[in-house]
Structure formats: structure tokens, C-alpha cells
């Protein structure tokens, strides 16, 4: 028999409390902010020129709001892309044979190449309107966020313990229910940390996304990125410091309202048989759990999802076991022929558009510059791995320390390399240093954090009973690192190193072409080659440089990173 609570208690639940009022205030504030920032979408592009950007600090709150909303929209789109693209790649070997190499290529394509190629398309979606430029900006931010999240989710789906899947089948969960009740929760701790890294990656490229310059086309959308670009052009150090302060405030707001609650919520999905003594906390998560407003708002979606868990896919009868393998081999052959045909067609179009229009000497020069950039990437990723892997393990094993480090790491990862241009240019010119060496650290300024965030995610998921077993057997020192810590985080490290490597190639356009006012420094490399072509509006050289970068990254990933990834997947999965 169901025991009902007293009427007084039930009535008290229906009355709004303090958490409900705070939740309503936050929701109303978000709606007002979104409406305020959306008013200009229907305005003509000429309005951006009639209302030029200002370096006055009083404009920064409005610019910060617009940038924050663009990045939030890009994050939502990136999540949708992650749940579809990575899932298809992980579930279908046939699709994964195309999608994962394609993802390797996409993460290495510089954001300037995406902007140069797609800006005309997005402007044509809403001709003469600001909305088209906003779409181009959000797409550019999406390209700086999505690939890392997709790699993380793919790695998690590939390493779900088989016994968890078997348990789901025994409880009668269909594939859709197993995805949302088993696989997504298993992937969530790592995905949340990579969402933080992706958001920081968006900040790193926010200048290129909001201050779009391709040939004679220049569009400066109101935002922190375009504010920084204007401050660099006018050599205003005070304005740059104001921009850093505004960026820090936005990152702290994101940390309190979104990432810290997500980290605390995702902590419940750790594979552990013992309850941790140091669980992360969040006042925002407490509010979400205690308020009735979000329960009411989410009830229809919750009922719909529960209904979908009861559905069963249609049955088309039993297939002949003797025919199935033959049909599968024929389908695989047709699929790989299709991929080969698409690849040949793409190479032929690139050849006609770029290589045929340029002398072969230009092609060889592009490959030579690509090898220079490749050496920089290898050296920098190796140094970053030696530094951040042990630090990430130390932080990840201490949830309270991870909570304190979280906003600091987000800010450092989000710090755009453009803000260091004054220091880099002044130091290199003043001390007569070699730009080929001293501009290189700018490449790994934002991408090294992919390694740190992924290692923290891996160490935070280390089961307590495994750590206790190591303590009981007296495993200490280097033996503890060799047998417990490093194997536990190795799959996560490989994911972070792959994305850091691809991100470093992408960051080459920022690091190898540095300007401060009228002074410009160049480091020999493929990033400088593409940046020069983008400034000149030379689409032939943009396509050539992008193609060379994609080819080199694909070869490196296929020869080095992919075998390492498969080794980590087979050897060090929790099972």
C-alpha cells in the first residue's frame, strides 16, 4: 500500500522556495540576455560599419555577452555532432573506417581555411544581413570545439566494459536505452572535461572567428575577439588587459553555472565500488536538484525518453547464416570502392583548382614548410607530455584539488595566443632572437591543455579499489606509476595527445605569423604559408596549404597515433 505524505508537507512542496526563485531568476536572465543579443541578427551588414567597434571598457560587458552566447550555441551544436558522428564511428566498423580518418583531417584544418572556404556560403544564407556573418562565426567556433569532444566520446564508447553491455541486455534494454543509460553515463566524466577544453579552444581562436578577414572582405562582429583584434591593430596594451579581465569573468561564470555542476554530476558515473570521500560540490547542482521549476520543465522530455526505451526495432525475419558473410564482404568491398572513388575525385579537384594553377616548385615548397611545422609539433607535444602527464595524474586523484585547478586551467587554456603578441614581438626584436625557435611555444600554448584535461579525466576515474589494492600490496614509487597510474590514464592520454597534435597544426596559423601594430614576424612553416595566402585572398594557395597539412596529419595519425590508440584500447581498458 502506498503511504502518502501529510497534506501540510505536500502543500509545502508546491510552494516556491528560495532555490525556485533563484532558478527562475537565472532562467529569466538567460532569456533576456539571449533576446538582447539577438536583436541585431536581422540588421544589414552595413550596420557593422556604421557602428564601429570601440575600445572603451564600457562596451566590454555587451561584447562579452555576445561572445559567450556564440560559444554556448557552438557548444550545443558540437554536442549534437559528438553524439551522432562519434557514435556512428564507434558502432559501425564500416563507417568508422571513413569517419575517423576524416576526423583526423578535420581537426588539423586551420580555422582560417574553414573561414576562407565557408564565409561566402554563410553570407549567402542571409544575403546582406548580420545573421549570415553570425552563422560563419558560430561555425568557426564549432570547428574549434567539436573534434576534441568527438574523439573523447569515441574513445569512451570503444572502451565500455563488456560486462556492462551484457548487464543491459539481461535487463532487457534495447540499443537506444543502453546508449543513454550505460554508454553515455560511462563516457560523461571524460566528455565533461573535454567540453571544458573545447570551450577553452573556442576562446583561443575567438579572434579569428569574430574578426573575419579574407582578401578584401573584412567583418568585425561585436565581441571580445574583435575587441582584441582592434587593440592589437592599434597597439593598445590597456585595452588588451581589459579584454583579459572580461574573458576571465566570463570563464568564471561558465565554470560556476555550467562546468562545475557538470563535473559534480558526472562524478556519480565513475566505475567504483566504494563511495569517494572527496566528491566535488556545486551550489548550482544543489539548486537544480532542489528546485521544482526544472523538474516541471524537464518532465515532458523525461516521459518521452522513457517511452522510447520501451520501443523495439522491427524484425525482418531471420537471415540465412550462409549468405550473411558473403553479403557482408560484398558490402565492405562496395563501401571501400566508394571511399576510394570519393578520395580520388577529391584529390583530382584539388589538383585542378590548386596544383595545376601553381608551379610544382610551389607544391614542393609547401611540403617542405609542412615538414618544418611537423618537427615543431613533435617536439612540443613530447615536452608537454613530460610536464603535464604527472601533474594531471596528481590533480585527478584529488577531486577537491581538481575543483580548484579547474577554472585556472580553463583560463590558461583559453588564453588566446594573440594576447602574447606584444611580448613575443618586443622580446624577439629587442633581443634579436630567431623567430623560428621563439615563436614555436605559441603553437602549444592552447593545445597542451588537451593532454592535461584528458589525463585529469582518466585519473579521476581510477577505481578506488584498484588504488587500495596497490596500497595493500605495497606498490610505491616508479612501480606504482608503471603498473597503476600510467596504464589507467594511457587511453585518455592518447586521446589528448591526438587532439593536441591536431590542434597544434591548427594553431600554427597563429604562432608562425605574428603581428603587433605595423610590425610582423614570420616563422618558416605551413601556418605562415596559409596565413599569408589568407591575407592576400589567394584561394589557390589556401587550398594547397590546407591539402598539404591534411595529407601530413593523415599520414602521421595512420602511422603513429592510430596504432598507439588501438594498443591502448586493447591493453588498458577497464574490464
User: What CATH number has the domain bearing residue 245?
Assistant: 1.10.3720.10
Is 188 among the domain residues? Answer: yes
SS3 (DSSP) at 223: coil
SS3 (DSSP) at 291: coil
Classify strands 513-516 and 519-522 as parallel, antiparallel or unpaired.
Answer: antiparallel
Is 14 among the domain residues? Answer: no
Burial 538-552 (b: 16+ CB within 10 A, else e): bbebbbbbbbbbbbb
pTM passes above 0.85: no
Rounded to 5°, the CA angle 219-221-224 comes to: 130
Please tell me what DSSP assigns to residue 279: -
Burial 212-248 (b: 16+ CB within 10 A, else e): bbbeeeebbbbbbbbbbbbbbeeebeebbebbbebbe
Angstrom CA distances, 66 to 27, 41, 62, 137, stand at 17, 12, 6, 11
Is 17 among the domain residues? Answer: no
Instruction: Tell me what pLDDT residue 53 has.
Output: 86
Is 35 among the domain residues? Answer: no
Is 405 among the domain residues? Answer: yes
Provide the residue count of the chain.
Answer: 575
Instruction: Tell me what pLDDT residue 7 has.
Output: 45
Rg of the chain taking only CA atoms, in angstroms: 25
Chain-centroid distance, C-alpha 313: 33
Between CA 446 and CA 466 the distance in angstroms is: 33
| Whether the Cβ atoms of residue 451 and residue 489 lie closer than 8 Å to each other | no
Between CA 182 and CA 180 the distance in angstroms is: 6
Instruction: Tell me what pLDDT residue 23 has.
Output: 76
Is 333 among the domain residues? Answer: no
Is 394 among the domain residues? Answer: yes
Instruction: Tell me what pLDDT residue 11 has.
Output: 46
CB atoms inside a 10 Å sphere around CB 377:
26
Between CA 71 and CA 202 the distance in angstroms is: 7
Is 319 among the domain residues? Answer: no
SS3 (DSSP) at 212: strand
Please name the residues in contact with 440: beta carbons below 8 A apart, sequence gap of 6 or more: 376, 379, 380, 511, 523
- Would you call 338 exposed, middle or buried from its count of C-beta atoms within 10 A (0-12, 13-18, 19+)? exposed
Domain residue limits at 261: 64-270+280-305+346-571
For the chain, residues with pLDDT lower than 70 are 1-17, 214-217, 272-278, 313-328, 354-356, 417-418, 421, 517, 573-575
Number of domains in the chain: 1
Please name the residues in contact with 533: beta carbons below 8 A apart, sequence gap of 6 or more: 539, 540, 541, 542, 545
Between CA 224 and CA 245 the distance in angstroms is: 11
Place of cell 502543500: 11
Amino acid at each position: 500500500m502506498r503511504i502518502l505524505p501529510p497534506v501540510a508537507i505536500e502543500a509545502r512542496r508546491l510552494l516556491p522556495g528560495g532555490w525556485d526563485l533563484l532558478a527562475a531568476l537565472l532562467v529569466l536572465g538567460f532569456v533576456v540576455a539571449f533576446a538582447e543579443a539577438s536583436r541585431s541578427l536581422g540588421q544589414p551588414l552595413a550596420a557593422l560599419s556604421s557602428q564601429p567597434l570601440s575600445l572603451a571598457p564600457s562596451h566590454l560587458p555587451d561584447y562579452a555577452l555576445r561572445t559567450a552566447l556564440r560559444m554556448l550555441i557552438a557548444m550545443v551544436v558540437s554536442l549534437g555532432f559528438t553524439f551522432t558522428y562519434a557514435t556512428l564511428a564507434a558502432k559501425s566498423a564500416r563507417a568508422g573506417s571513413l569517419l575517423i580518418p576524416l576526423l583526423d583531417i578535420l581537426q588539423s584544418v586551420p580555422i582560417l581555411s574553414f573561414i576562407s572556404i565557408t564565409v561566402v556560403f554563410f553570407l549567402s544564407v542571409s544575403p546582406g544581413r548580420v545573421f549570415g556573418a553570425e552563422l560563419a562565426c558560430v561555425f568557426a567556433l564549432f570547428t574549434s570545439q567539436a573534434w576534441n569532444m568527438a574523439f573523447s566520446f569515441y574513445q569512451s564508447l570503444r572502451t565500455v566494459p563488456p560486462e556492462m553491455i551484457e548487464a543491459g541486455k539481461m535487463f532487457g534494454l534495447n540499443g537506444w536505452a543502453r546508449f543513454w543509460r550505460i554508454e553515455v553515463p560511462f563516457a560523461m566524466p571524460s566528455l565533461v572535461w573535454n567540453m571544458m577544453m573545447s570551450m577553452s579552444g573556442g576562446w583561443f581562436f575567438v579572434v579569428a572567428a569574430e574578426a573575419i578577414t579574407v582578401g578584401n572582405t573584412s567583418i568585425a562582429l561585436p565581441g571580445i575577439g574583435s575587441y582584441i583584434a582592434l587593440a592589437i591593430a592599434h597597439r593598445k596594451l590597456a585595452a588588451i588587459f581589459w579584454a583579459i579581465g572580461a574573458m576571465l569573468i566570463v570563464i568564471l561564470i561558465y565554470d560556476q553555472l555550467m562546468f562545475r555542476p557538470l563535473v559534480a554530476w558526472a562524478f556519480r558515473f565513475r566505475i567504483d565500488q566504494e563511495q569517494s570521500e572527496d566528491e566535488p560540490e556545486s551550489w548550482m547542482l544543489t539548486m537544480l536538484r532542489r528546485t521544482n521549476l526544472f523538474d516541471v520543465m524537464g518532465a515532458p522530455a523525461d516521459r518521452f525518453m522513457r517511452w522510447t526505451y520501451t520501443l523495439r526495432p522491427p524484425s525482418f525475419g531471420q537471415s540465412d547464416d550462409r549468405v550473411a558473410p558473403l553479403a557482408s564482404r560484398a558490402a565492405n568491398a562496395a563501401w571501400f570502392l566508394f571511399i576510394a572513388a570519393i578520395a580520388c575525385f577529391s584529390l583530382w579537384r584539388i589538383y585542378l583548382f590548386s596544383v595545376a594553377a601553381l608551379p610544382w616548385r610551389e607544391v614542393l615548397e609547401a611540403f617542405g614548410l609542412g615538414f618544418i611545422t611537423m618537427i615543431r609539433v613533435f617536439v612540443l607535444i613530447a615536452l608537454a607530455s613530460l610536464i603535464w602527464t604527472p601533474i594531471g595524474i596528481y590533480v585527478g586523484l584529488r577531486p577537491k584539488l581538481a575543483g580548484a585547478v579547474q577554472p585556472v586551467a580553463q583560463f590558461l587554456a583559453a588564453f588566446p595566443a594573440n594576447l602574447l603578441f606584444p611580448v613575443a614581438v618586443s622580446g624577439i626584436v629587442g633581443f634579436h632572437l630567431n623567430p623560428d625557435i621563439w615563436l614555436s611555444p605559441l603553437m602549444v600554448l592552447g593545445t597542451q591543455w588537451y593532454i592535461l584535461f584528458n589525463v585529469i579525466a582518466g585519473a579521476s576515474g581510477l577505481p578506488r579499489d584498484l588504488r587500495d589494492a596497490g596500497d595493500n600490496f605495497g606498490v610505491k614509487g616508479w612501480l606504482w606509476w608503471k603498473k597503476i597510474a600510467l596504464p589507467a590514464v594511457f587511453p585518455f592520454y592518447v586521446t589528448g595527445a591526438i587532439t593536441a597534435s591536431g590542434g597544434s597544426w591548427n594553431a600554427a596559423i597563429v604562432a608562425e605569423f605574428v603581428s603587433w601594430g605595423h610590425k610582423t614576424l614570420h616563422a618558416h612553416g605551413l601556418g605562415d604559408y596559409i596565413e599569408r595566402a589568407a591575407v592576400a585572398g589567394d584561394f589557390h594557395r589556401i587550398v594547397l596549404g590546407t591539402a598539404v597539412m591534411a595529407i601530413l596529419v593523415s599520414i602521421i595519425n595512420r602511422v603513429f597515433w592510430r596504432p598507439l590508440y588501438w594498443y591502448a584500447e586493447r591493453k588498458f581498458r577497464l574490464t
